[in-house]
Amino acid sequence: MSQFPSSRPRRLRSSRAVRRLVTETRLDPAGLVLPMFVREGIDQPQPITSMPGVLQHTRDSLKRAAVEAVEAGVGGIMLFGVPAERDATGSAAVREDGVLNVAIADVVAEVGEQTVVMSDGCLDEFTDHGHCGVLDERGGVDNDETLKVYADMAVAQAAAGAHMVGPSGMMDGQIGVMREALDAAGHQDVSLIAYTAKYASALYGPFREAVDSKLKGDRRTYQQDPANAREALRELELDVAEGADIVMVKPASTYLDVIRDVREATHLPVAAYQVSGEYSMIEAAAANGWLDRERLVDEQLMAIARAGASIILTYFAVEVAQRLQDS
């Protein structure tokens, strides 16, 4: 008669070397993307109080931070601009001398041959009402009028040197319109990162401080309902048909099921964005001594990768990439 336990899974957990050998999911610095903020009209980097360790950069400090990210082995940089002046249509987003377009050119000139420079193709940072598009006479976001601005914004960012543009506004048809505009302007090689499933989440709060958002109201009429998962697959079908190169889920840790669903439904690369609130919760818990910060950072990112994301946007990118290189 057999004596139990006859099978001992613990054998493969018996030492760090064994655990490393049989690891199923591995984080890779090349799959990490660092979101960065550049603010117009400041002469020193400004700390973001709700995101300890994250800064609103000057043009010069942005370039230095980009070099640091590249040296750490981070695979990409996602740039967000904070303009000095805003208006109803977000006109600073399409101007050649707008803060984001100038910052793209700066970073591309500094590290453009060594990493992937991505840009945020959304209007919320640039509008005086804080919404991701142009408003109609009733105060709602006008989808089709917004698409016209998105097309111009994509071309402006591509002209500045962006390798990839990420329209995060969740307007219907945004990928198709931007793809057509980029191709018509001779930017066929510029990729589009589709924010395929961007949910109307409570986790964006610290980001609002990071970009000095002027949002009035909320974005539930265009961002996805947190209760819906199948809806993400409908968005995925549309983004793929319109020409997306990469598809993304945002936020990440509260939508691991959606990441898995999207991964199983497409052959395109799948990204996930560990957003500001996810970052800030970890930092707050660690600052209070409630959790082991380094272990939690790694566990959260591993969960996102295990769910199916091969690209992870995270404010921990440089720290984690450096640690992976040293391990």
Please identify every residue annotated as catalytic: 198, 250
Tokens matching residue 102:
């100038």
Tokens matching residue 121:
């193709």
CB 199 within 8 A of CB 223: yes
- Give the span between the Cα atoms of 152 and 181, in whole angstroms: 7
- Give the span between the Cα atoms of 78 and 60, in whole angstroms: 17
CB 93 within 8 A of CB 119: no
- Give the span between the Cα atoms of 158 and 165, in whole angstroms: 8
Tell which residue, 117, 195, 120, has the closest CA to residue 163. 117
Tokens matching residue 241:
């048909």
The SS3 assignment for 280 reads helix
CB atoms within 10 A of CB 241: 10
CB 226 within 8 A of CB 247: no
